[in-house]
């Protein structure tokens, strides 16, 4: 396992001290100013609820909020149907996050030493590049609610910081079919039924804003299809007991990582299955234990025209799996710990880089322009006659995520997260066992100075460190370890 150098360690320590100092300065003011939460936009406006009814802190759901979501954004009273809403009510929320952040990582940098006409940039060296400034996140435009009793919808057009939009969530739900809470169906593009929700995570940094366990694939692996953190296209069955203590789900998904227009596999599907059980532990609140399995097949061979892969022609399906256990433990009203452990495995073809031969831009737009193109080029394509090396084998790995939260009040939360991804078997015999291993630490202090049923705002301080073996810049024959760190101070508002 790689160990930080002394100089790198000193930088990490100095950064951590700066963040802790900021948090300590902020804490007394926050503790004095923190007030009971009222509500947040859209659903809170409809029902007149305090935000703490559904959230540990915005946007993290508590058990009542989970039940509200499972019921199709209904409380199961007369106010659910749109006919009872004020005609001026518009179920919409805008969310954006202006931030200041400082990001530091390693890059291969031209030195101009030994420059010549044939080699105008000279040699390269690994150098740490650090930049800071005020920045923006993308814009989320949430709208959702009931179309009729037990028929609901959710629509989320989302943009990157430049204003380029895509549809993050588009789904229709049919709930309590035949009057049973065990019969609920949703169809469209939606978040998988993860007990620890990435879409409701409070992390805002580049590395801390996602769960590494949900997205991890081995170095050189071409299987983009098993991304548990991404919204997927498909149809999902959800069933739950009346009090939501027992929950099950089964989803049939396109094996295309949520990309639209059938860009990837022609006939490849995946299944995502979950079960979780909660127990009321009295003063310790509700404890929940669950398990999940994400299994399926995806294409490794795309038919071509003039050497260019044809979108939607993917065949040569190979298998993959992600199997895990989740827990959600509450220790009184203020402290809870969430844990996810996962075992992942890909077919040997994926391990050798086959799979996503038709590279996309994340919304179905094809960017791969053929094997002769220099930018962006195409990943390997399992064309007829292709064989794997005798050294190839199915890669496997284990992932661990632990997230601890101290909720002083619904308006103030402190969060710490550690993630570890460990290769169990590399895709190629002879590859060092630790290549691709990840360690990530994320620390957050988040305060909502106000939250109402019209608007809410959070002030957030966050520090993230991510280390991955053998995935940093390459100079000559040597590849450095990835070693990122980021400090973020920002506002997160919605209205």
Mean pLDDT of 348-369: 73
- Convert the pLDDT of each residue in 168-193 to its tens digit: 999 999 999 999 999 999 999 999 99
**Is 426 a member of any domain?**
yes
**Is 326 a member of any domain?**
yes
Q: What is the CATH number of the domain that holds 303?
A: 2.40.160.10
Single out the residue of 277, 276, 393, 272 nearest to residue 321, CA to CA: 272
- pLDDT for the residue numbered 5: 43
**Is 381 a member of any domain?**
yes
**Is 339 a member of any domain?**
yes
- Tell me the average pLDDT of the chain: 85
- pLDDT for the residue numbered 30: 35
- Convert the pLDDT of each residue in 208-221 to its tens digit: 999 999 999 999 99
Q: What does the DSSP assignment read for 215-275?
A: H---TT----TT-TTS-EEEEEEEEE-TTSSEEEEEEEEESSTT-STT-SBSS-EEEEEEE
**Is 36 a member of any domain?**
yes
**Is 198 a member of any domain?**
yes
- Report whether pLDDT(34) > 80: no
When divided into structural domains, the chain yields a total of 1
CB atoms within 10 A of CB 420: 16
**Is 1 a member of any domain?**
no
- pLDDT for the residue numbered 42: 67
**Is 131 a member of any domain?**
yes
Q: What is the C-alpha separation between 176 and 74, in angstroms, rounded?
A: 11
- Report whether pLDDT(437) > 80: yes
Q: What is the C-alpha separation between 483 and 7, in angstroms, rounded?
A: 13
Least confident of 21-30, 111-120, 228-237, 401-410: 21-30
pTM check: above 0.85: no
Q: What is the C-alpha separation between 54 and 453, in angstroms, rounded?
A: 13
Mapping DSSP to helix (H, G, I), strand (E, B) and coil, where does residue 288 land?
strand
Mean pLDDT of 360-378: 52
- Report whether pLDDT(28) > 90: no
Handedness of CA 398, 422, 200, 222 (dihedral sign): negative
Q: Tell me what percent of the residues of the chain surpass a pLDDT of 70.
A: 84
- State which residues form the domain around 294: 6-494
Q: What is the dihedral of CA 348, 353, 357, 360, to 10 degrees?
A: 120
Q: What is the C-alpha separation between 248 and 105, in angstroms, rounded?
A: 42
Handedness of CA 403, 408, 411, 414 (dihedral sign): negative
- pLDDT for the residue numbered 142: 87
Mean pLDDT of 285-290: 91
Question: Hunting for tokens 């629509």 — which residue is that?
Answer: 155
- pLDDT for the residue numbered 309: 82
pLDDT tier at 145 (50, 70, 90 boundaries)? confident
pLDDT tier at 94 (50, 70, 90 boundaries)? confident
Q: What is the C-alpha separation between 284 and 289, in angstroms, rounded?
A: 15
DSSP 8-class letter at 16: H
Least confident of 139-153, 178-192, 319-333: 139-153
Q: What is the 3-state secondary structure (H, E, C) of 339-376?
A: EEEEEEEECHHHHCCCCCCCCECCCCCECCCCCCCCCC
pLDDT tier at 74 (50, 70, 90 boundaries)? confident
End-to-end CA distance of the chain: 46
Single out the residue of 480, 388, 395, 371 nearest to residue 219, CA to CA: 395
Q: Could you tell me how far CA 120 lies from the centroid of its own chain? A: 41
Select the more confidently predicted residue: 329 or 362. 329
Mean pLDDT of 87-95: 74
- pLDDT for the residue numbered 239: 96
- pLDDT for the residue numbered 85: 66
- pLDDT for the residue numbered 464: 98
- Convert the pLDDT of each residue in 476-488 to its tens digit: 888 999 999 999 9
- pLDDT for the residue numbered 260: 86
Q: What is the C-alpha separation between 32 and 1, in angstroms, rounded?
A: 44
With vertex at residue 236, the alpha carbon angle to CA 65 and CA 399, rounded to the nearest 5 degrees, is 75
């Amino acid at each position: 396992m790689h160990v930080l150098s002394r100089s790198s360690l000193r930088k990490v320590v100095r950064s951590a001290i700066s963040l802790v100092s900021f948090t300590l300065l902020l804490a007394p003011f926050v503790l004095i100013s923190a007030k009971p939460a009222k509500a947040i936009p859209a659903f809170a406006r409809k029902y007149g609820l305090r935000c703490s009814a559904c959230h540990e802190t915005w946007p993290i759901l508590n058990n009542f909020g989970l039940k509200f979501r499972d019921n199709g954004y209904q409380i199961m009273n007369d106010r659910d149907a749109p006919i009872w809403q004020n005609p001026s009510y518009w179920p919409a929320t805008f969310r954006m996050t202006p931030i200041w952040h400082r990001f530091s990582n390693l890059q291969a940098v031209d030195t101009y030493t030994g420059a010549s006409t044939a080699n105008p940039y000279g040699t390269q060296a690994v150098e740490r590049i650090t930049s800071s400034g005020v920045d923006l996140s993308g814009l989320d435009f949430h709208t959702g609610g009931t179309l009729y009793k037990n028929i609901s919808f959710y629509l989320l057009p989302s943009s990157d910081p430049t204003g380029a939009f895509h549809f993050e969530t588009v789904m229709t739900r049919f709930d309590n079919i035949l009057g049973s809470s065990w019969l609920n169906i949703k169809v469209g593009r939606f978040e998988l039924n993860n007990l620890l929700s990435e879409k409701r995570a409070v992390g805002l940094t580049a590395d801390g804003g996602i769960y590494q366990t949900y997205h991890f694939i081995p170095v050189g692996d071409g299987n983009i299809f098993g991304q548990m953190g991404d919204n997927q296209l498909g149809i999902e069955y959800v069933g739950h007991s009346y009090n939501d203590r027992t929950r099950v789900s089964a989803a049939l998904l396109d094996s295309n990582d949520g990309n639209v227009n059938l860009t990837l596999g022609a006939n490849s599907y995946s299944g995502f299955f979950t079960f979780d059980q909660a127990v009321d532990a009295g003063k310790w609140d509700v404890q929940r234990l669950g398990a999940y399995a994400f299994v399926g097949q995806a294409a490794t061979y795309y038919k071509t025209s003039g050497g260019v892969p044809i979108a939607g022609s993917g065949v040569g399906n190979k298998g993959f799996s992600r199997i895990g256990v989740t827990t959600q433990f509450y220790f009184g009203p203020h402290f809870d710990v969430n844990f996810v452990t996962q075992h992942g495995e890909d077919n040997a073809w994926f391990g050798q880089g086959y799979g996503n031969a038709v590279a996309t831009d994340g919304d179905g737009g094809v960017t791969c322009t053929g094997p002769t193109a220099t930018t962006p080029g195409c990943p390997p394509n399992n064309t007829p006659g292709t064989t794997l090396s005798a050294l190839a084998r199915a890669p496997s790995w284990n992932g661990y995520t632990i997230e601890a939260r101290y909720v002083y009040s619904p308006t103030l939360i402190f969060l710490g997260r550690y993630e570890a991804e460990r290769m169990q078997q590399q895709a190629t015999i002879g590859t060092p066992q630790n290549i691709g291993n990840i360690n990530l630490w994320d620390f957050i202090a988040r305060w909502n100075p106000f939250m109402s049923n019209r608007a809410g705002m959070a002030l957030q301080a966050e520090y993230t460190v991510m280390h991955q073996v053998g995935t940093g810049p390459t100079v000559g024959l040597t590849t450095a370890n990835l070693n990122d760190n980021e400090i973020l101070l920002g506002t997160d508002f919605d209205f």
